[in-house]
Homo-oligomer: A and B are copies of this chain.
């Protein structure tokens, strides 16, 4: 059927959508979500049909994406036909029924996701089915490979390439900012890409951004790595696994994370890593709740690494409380910098040198942890981070106190004496976000007491930092309601762990940062 083009002059967020009136759609035999084949001169595009009630009959509305690819202009006449559903929908349906998918099926799906032939409805159904049925190792392997194949890769022309990654889930985890300079100072290449926070108070990219630019091009990354052996950049613009970026958009509102393994491993593969340390924090508020789960996940990472030709070691780490004392982009960058200059909390030092040590031992260095500790203590790691900051465009002389943090500060105090028995990391995440993190980089939380510390009634348990007084107020109010610290002295008064239905209705933050 010939239809007249109406250019909508607006992008559809990358979606390939065309608008038809209900009458026109019915004449074409097109239902909502059906695909249409649009032909204009010698160009052809497949679009997903959106039906609009009041749209003009015999016209087709083209969003920028489709209009551009067809080079169609306002008022031109183009041919529109009902197209078959893409083959990948057959595989999505098979996965809903619980069937195992073959490598070629998964390739087809990932390709159609990247080329926007699958709608978000279909992607949501696919991810939900994966989340419920789980994925076999062969499926994880095929998914990782397909994600790499449909994205860009970076080749550093060198081996080994080291990398580390945390599956995330505990606040305050600034380990990467220490591990990267330790490894780079030891003379090995470690090109680290990180994410920004979505549901947490800070991602490594947010933390680093208070020290230097992190949105580098591939060329700039290669240059920084050539000069310094390392980098700490935002991975979001590098298109290393564009399918995953589209999957994350759908996973985020659903609070599911079925692609944890291939999502992480595809990006490591795309950047050419040969040796990868995966940090799996274990704790009741973390993604992985107990050791049984952690060992299962760890062996899956190792297995998937083998299938992809990567050596993987997993570190199971203590995740029952935040790492170090600082939570929030600027506060954490301060703490990381202080730690590199010899003045840091012991848990952060231990974790960074343990993971650095694992990486060093993976490539044959003896006594890796000791080596990492030496590099840290000798300030070689600090100097290395300053080189990286300079190469990425920041000030290499930056001092911790130069990093701007929020100047609205409030205190949360103990209402009784006792020892810190339990800290809710989830509650602290919510409080830091209420204070403005990660958007307001100076916002966050500074813990004053950690597990096992003895407190008196009235002792400050933690401080809340904010850039705006209203945010500070609402964060302090939330802290008052949530009471994230449990003190021990009168444990018999606090036998109740939780109440169902919840006394405070508030969705728990779902952790999705890669």
Residues of A within 8 A of B (CB): 8, 10-14, 19, 26-27, 29, 31-34, 50-55, 61, 64, 84-85, 87, 89-90, 92-93, 96, 98, 119-125, 127-129, 131-133, 198, 249-250, 252-256, 439, 505, 507
Contact = CB atoms under 8 A, between A and B. Distances in A.
Nearest to A21: B11
A54 B9 CA distance: 10
Contact of A507 (B26, B89, B125, B198): B89
Given A93-B255, A131-B96, A32 B13 contact: yes
Contact of A51 (B13, B51, B98): B13
A125 B122 contact: no
B89 A119 contact: no
Contacts of A131: 96
A96 B256 contact: yes
A349 B96 CA distance: 39
A120 B119 CA distance: 10
A132 B507 CA distance: 24
A98 B131 CA distance: 11
Contact of A198 (B31, B92, B505): B31
Nearest to A11: B52
Question: For the complex, would chain A's binding face be called helix, strand, loop or mixed by DSSP majority?
Answer: mixed
A29 B256 CA distance: 21
A442 to B, nearest CB: 15
Nearest to A26: B439
B10 A439 contact: no
Nearest to A27: B439
A207 to B, nearest CB: 17
A61 B10 contact: yes
21 contacts: A10-B19, A10-B55, A11-B55, A13-B51, A27-B439, A84-B507, A85-B507, A93-B255, A93-B256, A96-B131, A120-B121, A120-B124, A121-B121, A121-B254, A122-B253, A124-B125, A125-B128, A125-B254, A128-B129, A128-B132, A132-B132
Given A12-B50, A85-B253, 9 more contacts: A10-B61, A31-B249, A33-B253, A85-B507, A93-B256, A121-B250, A121-B254, A125-B256, A132-B133
